[in-house]
Structure 1
C-alpha cells in the first residue's frame, strides 16, 4: 500500500497510514477508534528512559527510527487504538495500553530485537495463561505482540503486602508455570539452561580477569567470583528435574490482575533447573540485603520458598551466588564497578548459606 493510502473501516471512512515524525519526539498513528467508524490520529511518544537505553548502539538507534512505523503497522493490522502513554520503566520495548475494535482493552508490546526476548511469545503460549499473561496476537517478524491487560497492574514490589504473602504469591505463580511446562515436547525450541550458563560462565571468567582488581579494591572477595563462575557451570547439569523457567522472576515482573491475584510478565525463558527462578524474589522483595540481619532474613526466605516449591534451599542459595556474581561482573563491564561490587557483596553474604547456615 502506498504511503498515505487508506483502507476501508467498518461503518465507513478510511484508515490513514502511519506518518513518521521527527525521531525521538513523536509520530502520528492512524488507528480505528472502536464504535466511532472514523479514522483518528494517535501521537506516539518514545519515552526518555527507553530512548536513553537504546540510543547507545547503532542497532538501537535504527530500531528507534522504525518504532513509530512498527506501532502504526500493528494498529493497522489488529484494528487498535493507542489510548494511553507507554508504561514506565521498560528499557527493551515500547509497551502501551490499547483498545481493540470491539472496545476490549489490551496491551501492545513492540520489542527491541535481542536474543533474551526471542522466545518470550513461545513461553507465554506454552503456559497458556496459567501463572502468566496471555498472548492475543503476535507478529514474530516485527517482534510485536498484543497481550491481555493486567489491571490494576500494580507490581508485587509496590503492593505493600507482607513479605510472607508476597512469597506465597510468587510460589503459586512459579508452581503454575513449572507444572504447565513439565513435559515439553521434543523440538520445543527453547534454549538450554546448561548451554546458556556455560556461555555466561566463559564471559564472566573473562570479565573477572579484566575487572577483578578494580572490584577487589571495592571490597569484593575474589574467591566468591570463582565460586559464582563455577556454580554457573555446574548447577544446570546437576538438576533433578527440568522445566521451562521464567528467567526474570523479579517482583517488578509480577503484576496485579483480575483473573488471578497476580500474573507474570516479561519472561526470559530457559529449560533447566527450577531452583534458578526464586532468587530474584528472595533478594528484591523489600531488599533484605540492605538490612543488618540480612543473612538471617535471606535464609528464612529461601527456606520458606523452598518449602512452597519443593526445592532444596542450599540449591536456591547457590543460584543466588551464581546469578549475583554474573550480574555484578556484567555491571563492572558496563562501566559501573560500584554497582557491580554491591551485587557481588550480596553473593558474598549468600555464599555461607550453601552450607545451610546464615553467615
Structure 2
C-alpha cells in the first residue's frame, strides 16, 4: 500500500500551534497500522477539518472513511455518541479505537449543509433536532446542568471583560438562564449541531458527524444553528424567518426556543470575547438584538 501524504493545510492548521507535532509526525504510520489491522486499502485523497484527518478507504467492496484525531475525551465522547444513535441521523460507526483516536465510518459525500441555501439548511437542522431526540442515557451531562454552570459565571465574566454590553441584556440572560437551568427533559441532544457538521449521505439524505451527546432540551443548540449561518441572513426579518423554519421543523415551542437563542447567544458572546474571538461575538450581538425584545 502506498503511503499517506498528509495535506500541508492540515499540518499548518492553527490547531497545532500549541502542540500536537508528535501526533502529526506519526500519522502516516498510524494510518498504515490501522489499515493493516482492519484490512483496509487507501481509496482517495484525505480531507480534514481543524482537528481531524479523514482518509477514504475500502474494505473489499465497502467504501469507508478512516477518521483520525488526537486521542482524548473528545474522541471518546464522539465514539460513545455514535454508538448511542447507531446511525439514526448520524454517520454510522463501523469500528473504533478511541485510545488511538481512530474511527472507521461509513463513507459520506463532501457536500455539507454549508453548500445549500440557508432556509433549506434551517429546515434540515430543525428536523434533525427532532430525529435525534430519543430518550437519552441518564449518565450523560444534562443541558440544564450546563446552563447552571455558566449562569453562575456570566456576571463575573461580564465584569472582567469591561461590561461589554448593556447590563439589561445580562440581567435578561441570567433570568432566562436560571429558568432553563431548572428545566428537565430527557431527550438526546447534539451539543455541536450546525451546518458544517451535517453531510449528504446515502442511507439518509443528510447525516450528522462529530456529535456531542447531551441529555435534556432539544432546543439547546438552536442559537448555534443560527449564528453559524448568520452572515447569510443580513436583515432581522431573515433571521426570524430562519428561526421559524427551524422551530417548526423541530416541533419546538416558539417562546421557549427564543429564550434558548437569547441565552446561548449571550453566553457565547462573553465566552468568545474572553477567548479573543472577533467575528462570533459580533454575530451573537446581532442575534441578541433580534431576540431580546
What residue in structure 1 maps to residue 34 of structure 2?
A: 74
CA distance in 1, matches of 2:151, 2:76: 21
1:43 corresponding residue in structure 2: 4
| CA pair 260-325 structure 1, distance change in 2 beyond 3 A | same
Q: In the TM superposition, what is the alpha-carbon distance from 1:145 to its structure 2 partner?
A: 0.6
2:126–2:248: 8 Å Cα contact kept in structure 1?
no
For 2:206, which of 262, 265, 283 is the aligned residue?
Answer: 262
1:140, distance to aligned residue in structure 2 (A): 1.9
Q: 1:50 deviation in Å?
A: 5.6
CA distance in 1, matches of 2:179, 2:9: 40
Aligned to 1:223: 168
Q: Deviation per CA, 1:145-200, whole angstroms, max 9, x where unpaired?
A: 1010113x3111212x471x33332233222211xx22x455xx422223333334
Structure 1 residues without counterparts, runs of 5 or longer: 1-39, 353-358
Q: Which residue of 2 aligns with 1:8?
A: none
Distance 2:21 2:266 in 1: 30
1:220-279 deviation per Cα after TM superposition (whole angstroms, max 9, x unaligned): 33432454355445414224x321111121111111112211111111121111111333
Matches within 5 A, 1:14-93: 40-49=1-10, 51-58=12-19, 60-88=20-48, 90-93=49-52
1:247 to 2:191 alignment = yes
Which secondary structure does the structure 1 equivalent of 2:182 belong to? helix
Alignment equivalent of 1:304, drawn from 229, 245, 249:
245
Alignment counterpart, residue 345 of structure 1, candidates 280, 285, 288: 285
Q: Which of 156, 181, 195 is matched with 2:113 structurally? A: 156
Give TM-score, length-normalised by structure 2. 0.86
Are residue 106 (structure 1) and residue 64 (structure 2) matched? yes
> How many residue pairs are counted as aligned between the two chains?
293
Alpha-carbon distance, 1:47 to partner: 4.1
Instruction: Please say if residues 71 and 101 of structure 2, whose CA atoms lie closer than 8 Å, have aligned partners that are also in contact.
Output: yes
Aligned mates of 1:325, 1:63 — CA distance in 2: 36
Contact 2:197–2:209 under 8 Å retained in 1: yes
Secondary structure at the aligned position of 1:332 is classed as helix
CA distance in 1, matches of 2:151, 2:22: 31
Once the 2 structures are TM-superposed, how far is the Cα of residue 113 of structure 1 from its aligned partner?
A: 3.7
Relative to structure 1, the CA distance from residue 275 to residue 210 in structure 2 (aligned partners, 3 Å threshold; closer, same or farther) is same
Q: Give the secondary-structure state (helix, strand or coil) at the position aligned to 1:85.
A: coil
> Which structure ranks higher in relative contact order (CA pairs < 8 Å, sequence separation ≥ 6)?
2
Match of 1:326 in 2: 267
Counterpart-to-counterpart distance in 2, 1:209 and 1:117: 35
Change (3 A) 1:198 1:70: farther
The unaligned stretches of length 5 or more in structure 2 are none
- Of 142-151 and 305-314, more deviation after overlay is shown by 305-314
Q: Within 2, Cα distance between the matches of 1:230 and 1:65?
A: 49
Q: Deviations over 1:317-344 (max 9, x none)?
A: 22222222232223222223x3354033
- Kindly indicate whether the alpha-carbon contact (under 8 Å) linking 1:248 and 1:277 is maintained by their aligned counterparts in 2: yes
Q: Which secondary structure does the structure 1 equivalent of 2:4 belong to?
A: strand
Paired with 2:232 and 2:78, the residues of 1 have a C-alpha distance of: 29
For the 8 Å contact 1:50–1:93, the answer to whether it is kept is no
Shift of 1:134: 0.4
The alignment's C-alpha RMSD in Å is 2.7
